[in-house]
Chain A
Amino acid sequence: MTLVTSKMGRRAFIKNTSLAGGGLVLGFNLLNSCKPKTTEAVVAELEMPKEWYEINGYLKIGDNGVVTILSPNPEIGQNVRTSMPMILADELEIDWKNVVVEQAPLNTDLYSWQVAGGSRSIMNSWESLRMAGATARHMLKEAAAQAWQVPVGEISAVAGVLSHEASGNSAGYGEMASLASQMEVPEEVELKDRSEFSIIGTSRKNVDGKKIVTGQPLFGIDVQREGMLIAGLAHPPAFGMKLKSFDAAEAKNMPGIRDVFSIKLYDEGFKKSAFHHTAFNELVAVIGETTWEVMQAKKALKIEWEQASESVESMSILGREMTVKHPTGMENSDTHNAKLKELNTRKGRVARKDGNPEAAFAKAAKIIERNYSCPFLAHNTMEPMNFFANVTEDHAELLGPTQTPEWMEPAVAERLGLPLENVDIQMTRQGGGFGRRLYGHFMVEAAVISQKMKAPVKLVYSREDDMSQGMYRPSYYATYRAGLDEDNNLIAFHVKAGGVPESPLFANRFPAGAIDNYLAEDYTIDSNITTGAFRAPRSNFIAGAEQSFLDEVAEEMGKDPIDFRLELLQRAKENPVGDPETNDYDAARYAGVLDLVREKSNWGQNESGVYRGVSAYFCHNSYVAQVLDMVMDNGNPIVQKVTSAIDCGIVVNPDAATNMAEGGAVDGIGHAMYSALTFKDGAPEQTNFDRYRLIRHSEAPKEIEVHFVDNGIDPTGMGEPPFPPIMGALANALYKATGRRHYHQPFISDRPPLVG
């Protein structure tokens, strides 16, 4: 056991002691009274207790020993609704089968970082979840000590049972819950040693599994309420346009239609955060009784759009100010690509320079220079954007899929003219996130419509709305150059990367710090097409580009690609170039995943007809190396196997983390190989899955193996890191399989065509 001061997240552990009384049932209303409770039991088989005793803001214990744990973070498929409660349950020392999980509503008084972003859910809450469990365990022990009149130090707590060996006393948590709920919250708590974990590090199945496979209502789009109306929104057909006027006469007369009006999301002076950003501020809302009727009426709207003028917005992002320019005009992907290529020939903004790269390149015996690019991508969560809102004169109930309830609350409160405490946001399970639901404009839209209709409303985007009104992954371009001396030593390295509207460059990531003469430059192109975070932002392109370039350099140097990377990492570890603090990776952990993937993939023992590519990357505080095995079948590349090695510290739920890593590999192969969103005259040319290609069953790897580094470090990111590097492994395997390097995503359309 380790003694730790219970300072982190302590707000949630402190109860209102003035209420303390014999056998007090707090009914879990530590959540402030205006916050509605979610009472849905996840494990239906468990017998529910007659009374619940609230121990702290994360958990309550029933008189029969059943424990309810509130999972504070948005569940977007990363499985935090299972893994976060597991962390708490382990420290509480309770049998997992006696745990019921509920989704906590947004409560900024109790919880911090109720956000699904940056792969930080587990990492940021690791300590507070453990302390919530450990303080509760301590309070149960205190209760038993008081009841049995023995020293608390002699009480043991194992799997929900308190016992005192000397006196032979023993009681379940349920029996002591009432008394425990009145105990002082300890100033210090004992946390388990890693060797004592009994739930963390063991595979536990998805707590929502049964509901998912039986089709129970779980998602925002499934919300049904008495008197609920459905809303749909019409938006400009192209970026660079805005609403001029509309005629709703025909639509209003269609069956089931209640009203049609335009809404403005934010007033001009509203100070946005980046997560309030939206593609179109003014939209036409159609409100009706059913989704199909609303969809039909939308088609009958007669709307005039006009060109929007240039604008400049200032926004804050996590405390940092940024300025976003929206030029006027309708943009084209062809023009973007031409501009990127042109800017790439000019000098960019120097983001990092080590040594004298110009001189080193000038004296290089050989220079390798390669260009890489990728298109815009739409997030395409399978569940389109939607939200339920019930706004009355003095209260707003908002329920649905959002990755950032805590960041949207101030915006929606201000827009509705309600005090923050009268706005309640609850989260449903979410049909995918991938960054799209970080931008919660649809929550505000639903709220504004409900306020105007004075009725509960569920806003539902069609797939076309979802794909054509996105916060897309930007399109990027990068040029890499490497200088080799006469002995084939790498003496200079240059990366220049730009994008629309942001650069994908990470100037201080590997191989920065491993090469004496290093230059990193970036540039950007303003656009009125809205972009945002997409699973592993920027890394999701630059990792693949960098890792295929390193593959090409290794080949030119006559080195094994893993050996080559390990040599560079060795240099970065032993004698880093520049200030070691500036290099934002740990060379030893980086090398660790390469070593592990080399061992697990039997690298070097190549089967004939199997073409292999390797890649490794660091992002979101974790390290991932992947080997991809490809075979050719009638000229078609088939991904036979992916072997992944991951260092994300302690793995809370190994099978679930494995699932994430498998998904990351499939997702990365899919997007690098098949997906693209292109623009013509400001309009996306793909607005549904007939033209927007997502990876399908037959294109997925036949087998995926996932291995974790066992190093006992506190957990780091897991949702995003397995996604970026696989694109490099794919490109490198494609080269081996086809004899041709692939530089431009999606690889399926990189000319000459790969197939067909």
Chain B
Amino acid sequence: MAKFTLNINGKALEVDVDPSTPMLWVLRDHLKLVGTKYGCGIAQCGACTIHLGDTAVRSCMLTVSSVGNQEVTTIEGLSEHGDHPVQKAWLEVDVPQCGYCQAGQIMTASALLKQNPKPSETEIEMAMNGNICRCGTYTRIKKAVQLAAESGS
């Protein structure tokens, strides 16, 4: 066990965990931030996507000890009132079916738009390809990303 002070959603949060613990479980079990989802544990499905700085990463294979003082953003901290352009677009398009993968989809999409505010259709597909949606909402996800790109900053 070791103590880590993490910078999560703008707050300094302390945890006492085994250094090899993935951020996914630190967030879910220790910090009760359950918006970040477990899907595969091997960085294949994208359900656990968070931001490390401005980059979308898979938290299921990111050990707590490797995070240091980098800024971590989870779905809970993406916006204060749930009004990030991507979240608004998701509601406008009414993307979700079961909804389980959508936090991860939104985190990947918001990181994409930060780096590439006007992505092409192909760029959206490529950026989102690591996020599986078992219900098959892909066409709506693309529409929502495009809408967010149009309405974003």
Contact = CB atoms under 8 A, between A and B. Distances in A.
Contacts of A79: 97
Interface centre among B34, B100, B126, B132 (most CB of A within 10 A): B100
Given A659-B94, A659-B137, A697-B128, A215 B103 contact: yes
B22 A212 contact: no
B37 A382 contact: yes
B50 to A, nearest CB: 10
Nearest to A667: B136
A659 B37 contact: no
A712 B113 CA distance: 44
A655 B32 contact: no
Interface in B41-59: 41-42, 44-45, 47
A221 interface: yes
Nearest to A661: B136
Interface in B87-126: 87, 90-91, 94, 96-103, 106, 121, 124-126
A382 B48 CA distance: 11
Contact of A704 (B22, B75, B134, B139): B139
A255 interface: yes
A293 B140 CA distance: 37
Contacts of B140: 659, 662
Interface in A286-312: 290-293, 295
Given A688-B42, A698-B125, A218 B137 contact: no
Interface in A230-271: 230, 255
A133 interface: no
B38 A384 contact: yes
B78 to A, nearest CB: 8
A430 interface: yes
B12 interface: no
Given A215-B74, A291-B28, A690 B44 contact: yes
Nearest to A230: B29
Nearest to A662: B139
A701 B139 contact: yes
B13 interface: no
A77 B129 contact: no
A689 B132 contact: yes
Contacts of A690: 42, 44
A74 to B, nearest CB: 11
Contacts of A209: 90-91, 94, 96
Interface string A691-716: 00011111011111000000000000
A665 interface: yes
B141 interface: yes
Interface in A192-240: 203, 205-206, 208-210, 212-219, 221-222, 224, 230
B99 A208 contact: yes
A462 interface: yes
A217 B132 contact: no
A703 to B, nearest CB: 7
A381 B140 CA distance: 19
B55 to A, nearest CB: 19
Given A659-B140, A697-B125, A212 B135 contact: no
B147 to A, nearest CB: 13
Interface in A643-674: 655-656, 659-660, 662-667, 670
Nearest to B86: A213
B28 to A, nearest CB: 7
Interface string A43-64: 0000000000000000000000
Contacts of A208: 96, 99
B109 to A, nearest CB: 11
A215 B36 contact: yes
A665 B137 CA distance: 10
A432 interface: yes
Interface in A542-574: none
A434 B135 CA distance: 9
Interface string A499-533: 00000000000000000000000000000000000
B70 to A, nearest CB: 20
Contacts of B136: 662-667, 670, 695, 700
Contacts of B32: 224
Contact of A219 (B100, B126, B133): B100
Given A210-B82, A213-B102, A214-B82, A382 B45 contact: yes
Contacts of B98: 76-77, 381-383, 429-433
Given A255-B18, A382-B132, A221 B38 contact: yes
Contacts of B129: 696-698
A663 B22 CA distance: 32
A72 B40 CA distance: 31
A660 B91 contact: no
A333 interface: no
Contacts of A292: 18, 21-22, 25, 29
B99, B101, B129, B140: residue with the most chain A Cβ atoms closer than 10 Å: B99
A123 to B, nearest CB: 19
Contacts of B44: 688-690
B11 interface: no
B76 A656 contact: no
Nearest to B100: A431
B39 interface: yes
A103 interface: no
A405 to B, nearest CB: 17
B99 to A, nearest CB: 4
B131 interface: yes
Contact of A380 (B22, B28, B134): B134
Nearest to B141: A697
B30 interface: yes
A218 B101 CA distance: 12
Contact of A224 (B34, B38, B128, B134): B34
A77 B139 contact: no
Nearest to A203: B94
Interface string A430-443: 11111000000000
B34 A382 contact: no
B106 A432 contact: no
Contact of B37 (A383, A433, A434): A383
Given A206-B94, A214-B76, A215-B76, A697 B142 contact: yes
Contacts of B76: 214-215
A213 B135 CA distance: 16
Contacts of A224: 32, 34
A448 B144 CA distance: 44
A741 interface: no
A431 B34 CA distance: 13
Contacts of A694: 132, 134
Which of B18, B78, B128, B135 has most chain A Cβ within 10 Å? B135
A432 B134 contact: yes
A520 to B, nearest CB: 31
A696 B121 CA distance: 14
A293 B29 CA distance: 11
Contacts of B47: 382
Contacts of B124: 697
Contacts of A698: 125-126, 129
Contact of A463 (B41, B100, B131): B41
Contact of A215 (B75, B135, B138): B75
Given A214-B75, A221-B37, 4 more contacts: A290-B17, A659-B94, A660-B97, A697-B131
**A-B pairs with lowest CB-CB distance, top 3:** A215-B35, A666-B136, A77-B98
5 contacts: A210-B82, A382-B133, A431-B100, A689-B44, A695-B138
